[in-house]
Structure 1
Amino acid sequence: MKTTLTFLIFFLFKIDLIFAQLSLKEIMQGETFVGHLPENQRWSLDGKHIYFDWNNSNELGNTTYEFDGLSKLVTKISPENENRTISYDKNQADFKSQVLSLDGALIEFDKKTKIPKLIFQASESVFNVQRLNDDTKIVFQMENNLFLVASGAQSSIRQITNFKSGDKKNKNSDSTFLMKQQSELFKYVKNKNDKSNWNKTQKSKPLFTFPMEHFLGDGNIEELQIDPFQKFVIVRSTFNQKEVETSVQNFVTANGYTQNFVARGKVSQDEPNQKVAIYSIERDSLIWLDFSNLTNIRSKPKYMDASGNGRFEKDRALFIHPFVFSKTQNMALCDIRSADNKDRWIVLVDLSKATVKEVEHQHDEAWIGGPGISSWNSEIAVLDWLVDGKSFYFQSEESGYSHVYSYNLSSEKKEQLTSGNFEIYAIELSADKKKFYITANKTHPGNRGFYHFEIATKKWIPIFEDNGFFDVQISPNEKELAIRFSNSNSPWELYFAKNVPNEKMVQITHSTTEKFKQYQWRKPEVIQIPASDGVGVYARIYEPTAEKKNGAAVLFVHGAGYLQNAHNYWSNYYREYMFHNLLTDLGYTVLDVDYRASEGYGRDYRTAIYRHMGGRDLLDFVDAKSYLVKKKGIDSNRVGIYGGSYGGFITLMGLLTTPNEFACGAALRSVTDWAHYNHEYTSNILNYPETDEIAYRQSSPIYFAQNLKNPLVMLHGMVDDNVQFQDVVRLSQRFIELGKKDWDLAVYPIESHGFKEAYSWYDEYRRIFELFEKNLLRIKN
């Protein structure tokens, strides 16, 4: 009893002591405590102003602000003028005006006067606005068809495609025999048919033709594209397999009744398949492209056939990205992915002949991905013309890191332009085609510097490359920069600078609150931990002073898997960052690990979890614990682990597959069974549950529930439509059936995957804090 009382007094004393500096309740208020940070900076049409989203007056949400490049003044845009803050579109750089869909109408803005002009408005919304080589013409889409706006002497607005969903219905539903018989037997029927046929011959020829109907089947028509010469339209159609949707329940509603809403399906081998056709406007004809000659289009992956020689009976399903047209020739580039994401092809399409030529093939036995490439099949990768119609550039992980390559169509040769143990995160070709503007982690995996890269000499010119992240938007004339910058203990602010080396940034916004600025926030050191397989694993470490150090440690697991958090800029996990400062003040050592599968470290690091999530990634945390024990004097029996989403999953795998390693764990919004997660993410890493059951079994915590030994708290939003509440319910039932103790489940009835309410955040982290204090902060007699 005496020991318990001593512990409680000491516990309360410590909380009061630390909360004099940081209050858990305050830091969980998020932006209300930190400040509302600027987002989405973009240049105005004329390049004289920077627009950005901000909330500098503590309103209920962000509004648009304007920075004047001449006066250097920041002005809040009123709601009635919001639609006049049109941002610059590089794709319309060569035109005197800029056209866009605004509130469903087609609007044209003069770049000099910025005066809007209404071009077209109807009850149906206008979208997918496109420009042609002829600047007097504009194309837009309504529903499943394109319309052409022509100005000048022959001004008109007309429909140029006539696409229909489904199949053409046979009007002659009766048998031809019966129809012929009726005409033979009955004079009345014969006369009626003769009159009908005669009427058809008497119709006058229309002054203007209208395109014929073309039926596209049961697929979902993606956004249509028209080539710059107004000759061809590209039709991409997605044919979905029948997906079984899930349902999420909302228990706290305005009307008092429980409401169900439809959510995503679950991972399955039933992949969607895309097809693409070229429609000739002149010939009014439609030709579907043939991709059957793509390299290895029928090859089975090695997990299905270890010999590597296995073949499917049919072509694999494909995802076909939008075409990248030449402005000088009737050709286009296209990025194609296999639906299983093992292969990527870049092809050259001859629009006139409707033929396809493969120019680049990439294969990854794990899955295609990386910066500028993307592991999401439908997300557009970097692919554009370098010299129009002659050469193009793209990104590839061929070297082990995502770098820029060029391909010459005449010589049919590929050249690697950038190289090194770093990755290219953003790339933009200059107007004179002589250099790239590049964002890369060239100096350190945890930095994002901004550079000019001279294509002819391959020379790098640093513009900004200090520790931190330079998120750059280039002005229309390419002479100025709008920059969002942060470092590890300073949140994002907006800056202005000239686009030249050694330039000093001018700060535009000051967003942090006085309360936030009162505390001396740590700049966690980014270290490398030697993993058991010899790889150096990056991590952020928070170390207390020697007099406060209590010998306990907490390991934090970031979410998403492919995400970086051991970096030198302001974290998306900023509440966790502040929580780690609080823990460090209490004497804990905190380690935030960029485990295997994290972003920023190349292809092998990215794919190290293939077919076994909770394998090599979890071992990085076991190795991190070993490092803390050996190098930082941490008690091996007092190391806890926590994280959300993928981080919650790793926490569960840690407690269930290595039950003697971690003293306790907190798993937030965790995947417990990968067969119940979404298709796009899961199928890349674990293939399909129908074809790779082993991968799903060895990667899912629910199969290891019997091993629970140490205290666990699970926390989950009940309206989570990403990692659904069902996940944690199913694991809870397993624990109950197995008679497991020392586990708790906290549910949040109004929260989805990303919590919104400060009181939910506080309740969640109060429970996590109490878990660590109870199980890691042991006082010796």
Structure 2
Amino acid sequence: MIKITLRFSNFAILAFIAFSSISLQAQQSELSVEKIMQDPEWMGTFPSRIQWGIDSENIYFQYNLEKDPDDSLYKINLSKHSEIIKVSQAEKENMIPRYGDYNDKRSEILFTEDGKLVLYNIRKASRTALLNLGEGIRDPQFMADESKVSFVLNNNAFVYNLDNGSITKLTNISKGTKVKDKEEKLSDKNQWIQDENLDLLEVVNQRKEKSEASKAYRKSILEREPYTFYIGDKQISGISISPNGKYVSFNLIKRERGDNTEVPNYVDQSGYTKDLPARSKVGDDITKVELALYNIEKDTVFMVSTEDLEGIKDLPDYVKDYPDKEWDEKVREVITSKAYFSEDGAKAIVSIRSKDNKDRWIAQLNLEDGILKTLDRQRDEAWIAGPGLGWSFGGGTLGWLHDNKHVYFQSEATGYSHLYLLNVDNGNKKDLTPGDYEVFDPELSNNKKYWYLTTSAEGPDVRHFYKMPLMGGKMEKLTNMVGNNQVYLSPNEKYMAINYSYSNKPWELYLKKTGKGEAKQLTSGQSEAFSNYGWRTPELIKFEAEDGVMVPARLYTPSEETKNDAAVVFVHGAGYLQNVHQWWSSYFREYMFHNLLTDLGYTVIDIDYRGSAGYGRDWRTGIYRHMGGKDLSDQVDGVKYLIENHNIDPEKIGIYGGSYGGFITLMAMFNEPDTFAAGAALRSVTDWAHYNHGYTANILNEPTNDPIAYRRSSPIYFAEGLEGDLLIAHGMVDVNVHFQDVVRLSQRLIELGKDDWEMAVYPVEGHGFVEPSSWTDEYSRILKLFNESLLDK
């Protein structure tokens, strides 16, 4: 029987629906859906947004000890470890921000505050407002000569002299186009009359000649004024000023609005239906980016050409699947980062990505003529990604060492994201962190002699913080707690504030000296109601997939007394995300739900299927051109493992997940009906041609170029395979995965004559639910689905 149910935030009207399942839970578990899906504040308060004070004496973080409507800023002083103090408004206003640029001695920091340029002397603890120009100053930096600082104002580059207070404008960049002088052209008749008049009247002729001479003189003066570069209708971004003040680079961006989808909000406070602006669909990417180099001494701008980059015309491998189509070998469009200048300002590098995201070049930019020289090319026939590689407009790990000849970056060239050094003078490249693991967030020490970095060297399920010599060598492990250690170094690098968690323990703040020794716990935020339950530590296992690889998973097993021989497969969302690890999951509600299911006798498995993060390039790209391929077969193989090793009844298998997990659930219910008897697809993509460009085009290319990939990856094409019981749940104001996705799928199911499916819609919810009533309703329905479809047979 088909049921489409509208859910509103007032939970009282569905109490009768949830009563039977909740009362069943109460008989067998301390937990209930209502309890675990209530406002997360019931769990306690946990630190977030951790930062150090500039003096390395205070750790600041968001926290909530007073049951305020929202978190507030708190601090712990190193001399008073046990005292957590709420920060006053006056102290907040006087805090030195986390961002800013230090001088070489790290005795001063430069930053902006309310658009003003500010210098803070750390030793004297004094703040000096340097400039207030009435408009927002951005991106201040000490120059190579530290008596001068550069900054950006109104899309132009400036230099401020700290000694005499003078300001020099380096560039003259202007919107629009240059207005050309217009000369009035006379008709033949009027020209004859004017010429005759000038011949007859000498004074009039002299005045004309004098006016033309004055005009020519003024024009010659104007031509000697600073060169003005007009950007037309383009936007400017990524302004970068060389430390020697001789060069400025910037990106010119032209965006054209595509055919965006409007998402109707039926419950707007006005009482009227209002359209929410949302994204366009995959294939609608018409952003164009150009890199410009402003040579100050030559007073001109070079437009940087990427047409000679190695492999710029290469076609992707997938074109062989379309032998009847003609493919032009043309220069591919690219996205350029800002220029990264060496510390002396004499050299610059740029990160460049092809818009099809199959190539990433690091190139040296010749500062005299704007010509590029390729230093490193990373090619991936799937798509470029991985820790430290950033996104389309640069970012990620990239910069210069202080010797002005080595650049550093991250690359997946070996199959795992590692930290590299490259000598721009001789081209020698070195992998500083070789091994089958990944590197995260490397940063240089204050003295520029070491790296600090986080890695998964001890296994993909843990994260530790290390110190390593600048040119590579043995890594010294600085953390020792098993789980995830998110380290925040004090500005003087003597201490580490560690945000730490374990599988069954939410995040808490610890303090440790940078070196040997034990970490001291500073916060204990769990509520009594939360800590009274014995939260499980899931068992980490690996099972063999059909292609022979070992797939990691989290396993929750019930006691023999409660075991009901049914199993539930949870599929995490986001695609590229890791959930099989030994730290507190971002899916904390689902983790608690799995504890409830286990109490009730279910066996639960949570798989890091192909496409998940944390396992290197091959795992990351295992879904290329076929979502619902290996990522789905990994779920099926996980079920086989449960049947063979945990005596699970093959007729009692359920599956559920949200977003990408919802998509996999649909593919499972449509393509593996013999494996899965029931499934709950939450906020799921049903047709990848209707999702966004940035994510989808990487994995499936573009629909017009690679329709095969979309046809085999979209659930809507396989809906005829539905046999089991399906729950579809979706927020109606979802501007990420649009409600339109499940509307189209429901029409398809209706036309196919399918029954035994229902859809619950949530009028006030977007992609990530907010209201506890919505969470409670959704998971009550999931539990009811599994109880009725898997147990009542």
TM-score by shorter chain over 0.5 = yes
Match of 1:328 in 2: 344
Say if 1:626 and 1:190 are closer, same or farther in 2 by CA, change over 3 A. farther
In the TM superposition, residue 131 of structure 1 has moved relative to its aligned partner by 2.8
| TM-score, L = length of structure 1 | 0.93
Distance 1:371 1:473 in 2: 18
1:164 to 165, 174, 183: 174
1:61-140 alignment runs, 5 A limit: 61-72=70-81, 73-89=83-99, 91-94=101-104, 96-122=107-133, 124-140=135-151
Deviations 1:302-335 (A, max 9, x none): 1124699997453211111122211124111211
* Contact 1:611 1:685 (C-alpha < 8 Å) held by counterparts: yes
Match of 1:3 in 2: none
> Over the residues paired in the alignment, what is the CA RMSD in angstroms?
2.7
In the TM superposition, residue 726 of structure 1 has moved relative to its aligned partner by 1.1
Match of 2:8 in 1: none
Distance 1:237 1:101 in 2: 24
Report the more deviating stretch, 637-646 or 128-137: 128-137
Say if 1:725 and 1:203 are closer, same or farther in 2 by CA, change over 3 A. closer
* Contact 2:338 2:394 (C-alpha < 8 Å) held by counterparts: no
Distance 2:20 2:268 in 1: 43
Say if 1:387 and 1:83 are closer, same or farther in 2 by CA, change over 3 A. same
Distance 2:230 2:22 in 1: 73
Matched AA of 1:737: E
* Contact 1:448 1:465 (C-alpha < 8 Å) held by counterparts: no
Distance 2:445 2:492 in 1: 10
Distance 1:143 1:654 in 2: 53
* Contact 2:609 2:634 (C-alpha < 8 Å) held by counterparts: yes
In the TM superposition, residue 257 of structure 1 has moved relative to its aligned partner by 1.9
In the TM superposition, residue 89 of structure 1 has moved relative to its aligned partner by 4.4
Note if 1:46 corresponds to 2:72.
Answer: no
Higher RCO (CA 8 Å, separation ≥ 6 residues): 2
In the TM superposition, residue 213 of structure 1 has moved relative to its aligned partner by 2.2
Match of 1:599 in 2: 613
Deviations 1:35-94 (A, max 9, x none): 232112122222222222222222222222222122323321123432322244474252
* Contact 1:184 1:190 (C-alpha < 8 Å) held by counterparts: no
Distance 1:410 1:663 in 2: 63
* Contact 1:560 1:645 (C-alpha < 8 Å) held by counterparts: yes
Distance 1:428 1:161 in 2: 32
Distance 1:642 1:729 in 2: 19
Distance 1:350 1:442 in 2: 38
Q: Number of residues paired by the alignment?
A: 766
Match of 2:31 in 1: 22
Say if 1:774 and 1:158 are closer, same or farther in 2 by CA, change over 3 A. same
Report the more deviating stretch, 344-353 or 592-601: 344-353
Note if 1:537 corresponds to 2:546.
Answer: no
1:468-479 alignment runs, 5 A limit: 468-479=483-494
Distance 1:250 1:113 in 2: 55
Distance 2:184 2:669 in 1: 69
Note if 1:775 corresponds to 2:775.
Answer: no
Report the more deviating stretch, 56-65 or 111-120: 111-120
Say if 1:656 and 1:478 are closer, same or farther in 2 by CA, change over 3 A. same
Name the SS of the counterpart of 1:222 in structure 2: strand
* Contact 1:131 1:228 (C-alpha < 8 Å) held by counterparts: yes
Report the more deviating stretch, 47-56 or 176-185: 176-185
Distance 1:68 1:431 in 2: 23
Say if 1:446 and 1:150 are closer, same or farther in 2 by CA, change over 3 A. same
Match of 1:278 in 2: 293
Matched AA of 1:106: L
Report the more deviating stretch, 69-78 or 768-777: 69-78
In the TM superposition, residue 743 of structure 1 has moved relative to its aligned partner by 1.2
* Contact 2:238 2:337 (C-alpha < 8 Å) held by counterparts: no
Distance 1:224 1:723 in 2: 34
Match of 1:715 in 2: 729
Report the more deviating stretch, 464-473 or 761-770: 464-473
Distance 1:537 1:71 in 2: 46
Name the SS of the counterpart of 1:556 in structure 2: strand
Distance 1:658 1:628 in 2: 16
1:259-274 alignment runs, 5 A limit: 259-268=274-283, 270-274=285-289
Distance 1:670 1:429 in 2: 41
2:393 to 378, 382, 388: 378
Say if 1:169 and 1:299 are closer, same or farther in 2 by CA, change over 3 A. farther
Say if 1:427 and 1:47 are closer, same or farther in 2 by CA, change over 3 A. same
Match of 2:439 in 1: 424
Deviations 1:483-542 (A, max 9, x none): 1000100001111111103x2112222221111111110010111011111111111001
Name the SS of the counterpart of 2:632 in structure 1: helix
Matched AA of 1:14: L
| TM-score, L = length of structure 2 | 0.91
1:279-294 alignment runs, 5 A limit: 279-294=294-309
Say if 1:631 and 1:281 are closer, same or farther in 2 by CA, change over 3 A. same
Name the SS of the counterpart of 1:32 in structure 2: helix
Say if 1:12 and 1:23 are closer, same or farther in 2 by CA, change over 3 A. closer
Match of 2:650 in 1: 636
Distance 1:268 1:183 in 2: 60
1:558 to 549, 572, 586: 572
Match of 1:5 in 2: none
* Contact 1:269 1:688 (C-alpha < 8 Å) held by counterparts: no
Matched AA of 1:439: T
Note if 1:493 corresponds to 2:504.
Answer: no
Distance 2:695 2:393 in 1: 12
Report the more deviating stretch, 545-554 or 732-741: 732-741
Name the SS of the counterpart of 2:755 in structure 1: coil
Match of 1:354 in 2: 370
Say if 1:82 and 1:743 are closer, same or farther in 2 by CA, change over 3 A. same
1:613-762 alignment runs, 5 A limit: 613-762=627-776
* Contact 2:351 2:394 (C-alpha < 8 Å) held by counterparts: no
Deviations 1:575-617 (A, max 9, x none): 0000100110011001010000000111110001000001110
Name the SS of the counterpart of 2:26 in structure 1: helix
Name the SS of the counterpart of 1:264 in structure 2: coil
Matched AA of 1:533: D
Distance 1:447 1:262 in 2: 40
